Amino acid sequence: MSADGIYPDDLKYTKEHEWLEARSGRATVGVTHYAQAELGDIVYVELPQVGAAVVAGEAFGTVESVKAVSELFAPASGTVAEVNGALTDKPDVVNRDPYGDGWMIRITMADPKEVDGLMTAAQYRKYIEDEAN
Amino acid sequence: MTSEPAAGPLKTTPLLGIARSLGGKCVPFAGWEMAVQFSSVIDEHMAVRTKAGIFDVSHMGEIEIEGSGALAIVQRLTCNDASRLVDGQAQYSGLLNEAGGFVDDILVYRRAEDRYLLVINAGNTDKDVAWVKKHGAGDADIRDASRGYAQIALQGPLAETILQGLVRADLRSIGYYRFIETDVRGARSIVSRTGYTGEDGFEIYGPSGAAEDLFKALLEAGRPHGLQPCGLGARDTLRLEARMPLYGNDLDDTTTPLEAGLGGIARLAKGEFIGRASLEKQKKEGVTRSLAGFEMVDRGIARHDYAVRHEGRPAGRVTSGTFAPFLKKNIGLAYVPPALATVGSRFAVVIRERDAAAVVVETPFYRRPAKASGRT
């Protein structure tokens, strides 16, 4: 798998292949094009309840493809404000539209500065190229 | 994600190059570098159920047993009754240890009265060859022929149509678990109506040097029929829907045919064979666990080695589990006490420390529709 996927410039990225879009203290979180391609057909997504606390770098949920189970790691700390319930019945949306309808949770961030520690699109692209080699 | 620790250099089949050129995602499997998927597991699975798929399964091992004492050796080494085979017939069987556990689950091909071929699992090849040589004393030669054979599986309702264009023999004359030896594009091959998908289809054993030519020719012949190259990912989901066991998951050295629901291949009346005494005893005393097929009732996917609980207590382990792409259900197999293995019984599968309800169902989970015509 190479880095020739789509990695929007206005998002931030983690080493565990989540993306985050920060907007006035709220962050939308999902998995990257690379993650969904590596996993293959996604058939199950397990997400936290609204109100749950999430901690940067710690697991907040699980995504399963036909052949693999993978944990989801929070890119930032805070409280879950919204969950994408549509993924319960249509988890394959994550494969088709990882940055759009395949979003997973929205977090009310405890410390918006945490986002500064995440990778830019260019850095992430380089990171997955290195990881592939 | 799918991976296993590297233990020395990986072995490769003669078809790895073409698998890569077709976009196959290649990973280590049982010491081999093999394609796990091409387009997607679900896509490939559905192609086999509705049209056809082609798999490189050249990692499988082959042992040839040849000589006047061949049948006696096969009878002693395997639990099914090979004396019931005629030339050109194959049989699912087991190599068992003294305790009745599976050294391996295998196919026995009778090529002639004095000539048998055992097809064995890739990851067990060295172990099986040593076992067969150690316990195969008698008037026959035993040879590990694994490197000489490539194996291609062509599976799906359109497999016969696709293959027929490449062989002169009438494939309709080959019944289920029957085979012929014939020239396929100039290479002497075994063409066998067998498979590991629950679908009609063929397994073709030919010389390694001819494998790439045959694979390409089949792809070409299959293109108008929707034939797709398939990886080990789809092979696993297909075999599980058909409730075919996977060695290392559902079977191992400690599980017996009686526990695995494979009593039909344990022919205790055929005469002496390795493991027979233990099976006799187990049959008399009753098994303490049975392999049950289940569907998840609660959300969640059962996976290999997840714990099973019943009324809050440990009750067994999941041996295989997946999302079933054709059935669109989460299914699995688990060893549980016999009382819990009956259809309709409920137990819990522990998924990330939570109990998720499952119910025992009839298996195979998937059974292919009866053919409108044909002689299988």
What is the mean predicted confidence (pLDDT) over B261-275? 97
B238: Cα within 13 Å, side-chain hemisphere:
31
Q: Do A68 and B2 touch (CB under 8 A)?
A: yes
Rounded-to-integer distance, Cα B302 and Cα A69, Å: 10
Q: Say yes or no for a CB contact (<8 Å) between A66 and B42.
A: yes
Q: Is B1 in Cβ contact with A39 (below 8 Å)?
A: yes
Question: pLDDT per residue over B293-319, tens digit each?
Answer: 999 999 999 999 999 999 999 999 999
Q: What is the mean pLDDT of residues B181-198?
A: 97
Q: What is the CA radius of gyration of chain A?
A: 14
A113: pLDDT strictly greater than 90 = yes
A69 shares contact with chain B (CB less than 8 Å): yes
Q: Is beta strand B228-229 parallel, antiparallel or unpaired with respect to B53-56? A: parallel
Is the whole-model pTM more than 0.90?
yes
Residue B3: pLDDT band (50, 70, 90) is very low
Kindly state the percentage of chain B with pLDDT values over 70. 97
CB–CB of B151/B177 below 8 Å? no
Kindly report the nearest CA distance between residue A126 and chain B, in angstroms: 21
User: How large is the average pLDDT for residues A66-80?
Assistant: 96
Q: How many residues are given for chain B?
A: 376
Per-residue pLDDT reduced to its tens digit, B6-22: 557 999 999 999 999 99
Q: What is the pLDDT of residue B258?
A: 98
Task: Suggest the residue from B25, B37, B40 to mutate for an interface test with chain A (most A CBs closer than 10 A).
Answer: B40
- Positive or negative, the CA dihedral B172, B177, B181, B182 is positive
Query: What pLDDT shows up at residue B306?
Result: 98
Residues of chain A with C-beta less than 8 angstroms from the C-beta of B2: 67-68
Write down all domains in chain A, each with its CATH number in brackets: 12-132 (2.40.50.100)
Per-residue confidence (pLDDT) for residue A132, from 0 to 100: 77
Cis amide leading into B9 (omega within 30)? no
| Per-residue pLDDT, B372 | 57
Residue A1: pLDDT band with limits 50, 70, 90: very low
For residues B33 and B40, give the distance between their C-alpha atoms in angstroms, rounded to a whole number: 18
Rounded to the nearest 5 percent, the helix, strand and coil shares of chain B are 25, 35, 40
Q: How many CB pairs under 8 A join A and B?
A: 46
pLDDT of residue B2: 38
| Interacting residues of B121 by C-beta distance below 8 A, sequence separation 6+ | B30, B60, B61, B104, B105, B106, B128, B247, B248
The whole-angstrom separation of Cα A30 and Cα A104 is 5
User: What order do you get walking across the sheet with A69-73 strand by strand?
Assistant: A42-46, A59-65, A69-73
Q: What is the DSSP letter of B150?
A: E
pLDDT mean over B208-233? 98
Q: Chain B within 8 Å of A68 (Cβ-Cβ)?
A: yes
Q: Output the average pLDDT for chain B.
A: 96
Closest listed residue to residue B295, CA positions, set B255, B240, B339, B257: B240
With the CA atoms of A41, A44, A49 and A52 taken in that order, what torsion angle do they form, in degrees rounded to the nearest 10?
Answer: -60
CA distance B46 to chain A (A): 13
ipTM over 0.95: no
